[in-house]
Amino acid sequence: MFDSLLFTIMLVVFLGVLSQWLSWRIKLPAIVVMSVAGIIVGPVLGIIDPSQEFGDLYGPIISMAVAIILFEGSLQLDFREIRDLGKPVTRIVTVGAFIAWILGSLAAHYVAGLSLPVAFVIGGLFIVTGPTVILPLLRQAKLKPRPSKILKWEGIIVDPIGVLLALFAFQIILFFMDETVSLGSLLIFFAAAGFATLLGWGCGRGMGWMFEKGYIPEYLKSPVLFSVVLLCFTLADEVMHETGLLSVTAMGITMANMHIASIGNMRHFKENISVLLISTIFIMLTASLHIETFYEILNPAIIGYVLLMLFVVRPLSIWLSTIGTDLSLQEKALVGWIAPRGIVALTVSGYFASVLTDTGFEDAQLLTALTFALVFATVCAHGFSIGWAARRLKLANDQGPGVIVVGGNSFTNALVATLTEMKVPAVLVDSSWRKVAAARQSGLPTFHGEVLSEQTEYQLDMTPYESIIMASESDAYNSLVCSSFTPTFGIKHLYQTAPDIARDADLEGLTHSVGGRILFNNETPLQALIQRVDAGQVFRKTLLTKQFSAKEFMNEINEEDILVGLLKASGRFDPIATDSEFSLEPGDTVIRLSSALKEKEKIKQSKE
């Protein structure tokens, strides 16, 4: 009834996105959920087999998707991000990768039973981690900046390096085994790698120059960039298979470090595309496996090899390569443990399994089972343990979700002071040094800078913060910032004070189309809040208990009080907006702006 290519495409896309959503809801690694979903509809139930149904298009579709994902990841590699981590990152992607290649190859030979030529090919490929798996894990774990940056950079840069090492090992095999292959073939390999790098650099510089000069209109920037990425990848790949990954990585890094004004909008577009592609491709790959592959995975030699890669090869390569760097023991331990393999390993190993078998290496048929065993084991082991390991090593932001408050004034100073007192991560941000200085003198956490500036992205770690409260004197600026951060934080977590319609009636229509959620109520703009604080009103904190219920609390407050926010028993702080729907439960703390006289009266009554 549903035996059609259209149904297969629909099911693959739907299951991929559903897996992403389900993993978000149940707090599981998305890669794990996608793998399970693909296995169920593929080899278990036999509903679809994408490799058969897509036919000759199966390989090119996956290759182009990987190219776009890798470019999107490399578009985030701004060298300013690792000013203090340049040495360990360089060591890990060079010395560490080489050590992992040698150790992994020896393990594949002596433990998995592969011949030395096949072992060195697959050993080079297995050093890759890749943005398809590492970026979703980092998003989930919320690590501290240093280990997060190291894992991100390694995952993106090592992807093409691993493929090149595998290609290099394959060329060496052909050189010694095939009399028709001469030294010139090796030189062609290095020339092809150099061409791919130069092509990526040239495409990146060319696109950046056209964007900066205005030769491409805004509405065409993302489509043009999308097509040039595919062009860059395909040209390099046609010269030599798999060098296209190196080309798009070079293109992305080049554009990331040109500091193009509109790179942020393009990055958000690419991120959305990447999430869709990662979801789709992982379902396709796992659904295309055969049930015989799972029987092969149970081979003790394969299990032993996977355990050796997990607990010996990866940790040892990281510890040896980072000797003499400033990484702490905890950072080395975490980076040495986290190395999930993903789409690149699965796709490229299939290519090498085919060409090595054709060359005469019968043991290469084992590569598919070996690769999937390593991918699934690392994805599950690292996906489930990264949060736990980071917390045990004190490398995770273990505080409750925090708040960035933008705009320095008496109201925001008092709000940040109250949140800090309640152990909620909060920071006051303003581009005016005078306004920041007033808060700093009070001992409040502050950041001096323009929140929309690209520099702020690298100087202010936003990982601990889930919400932004805009409370500057400019209502239009508040709306602009909320709109700018919508792709990053989501509209649910962006708040701004009510616009002062009496002062500027033109703003009435603006806030309905752009901006964040209006705080408290529509009748209390920022100036009114500042006047309340200046007049002596304070933030009162009321803990709800079984004895003092929500009903009693609501009876206590009066019309002059403003409900500001709700600190849940879990440590989560939620500002109260005009459209908020919340329930008060025992253990919650309600924050309200109220008269100081009432606070004094309450203290006096409690003493009596």
pLDDT means per 10 residues, the chain with 608 residues, are 78 90 78 84 88 85 82 76 78 90 92 88 84 72 82 82 80 70 73 90 92 84 88 90 84 84 63 77 84 82 92 93 90 90 76 79 84 86 86 77 87 89 87 84 86 71 82 86 81 85 55 70 82 86 77 74 81 81 77 69 52
pLDDT of res. 1: 46
Antiparallel, parallel or unpaired: β 538-543 and 589-594 = antiparallel
| DSSP, res 549 | -
Question: For every residue of 555-588, which 3-state class applies, written as one string?
Answer: HHCCCCCEEEEEECCCCCEEECECCCCCCCCCCC
Q: Determine the Cα–Cα distance for residues 52 and 63; give it in Å rounded to an integer.
A: 17
Which amino acid, residue 43? P
Cβ count within 10 A of residue 599: 15
Contact of 316 with 85, CB cutoff 8 Å: no
User: What stretch(es) of the chain map to CATH 3.40.50.720?
Assistant: 402-607
Token look-up 């959920």 returns 33
**Reported pTM:** 0.71
Contact of 346 with 372, CB cutoff 8 Å: yes
pLDDT of res. 505: 52
Give the helix/strand (H/E) hosting 220: helix 218-239
CATH class of 93-392: mainly alpha
User: What stretch(es) of the chain map to CATH 1.20.1530.20?
Assistant: 93-392
Phi, then psi, of 17 in degrees rounded to 5: -70, -40
Contact of 274 with 342, CB cutoff 8 Å: no
552 closest CA partner among 541, 564, 544: 544
pLDDT of res. 264: 62
DSSP bridge pairs for 566: 574, 590
CATH topology of domain 402-607: Rossmann fold (3.40.50)
Contact of 80 with 145, CB cutoff 8 Å: no
pLDDT of res. 249: 85
Q: Which two tokens stand for residue 63?
A: 């290759």
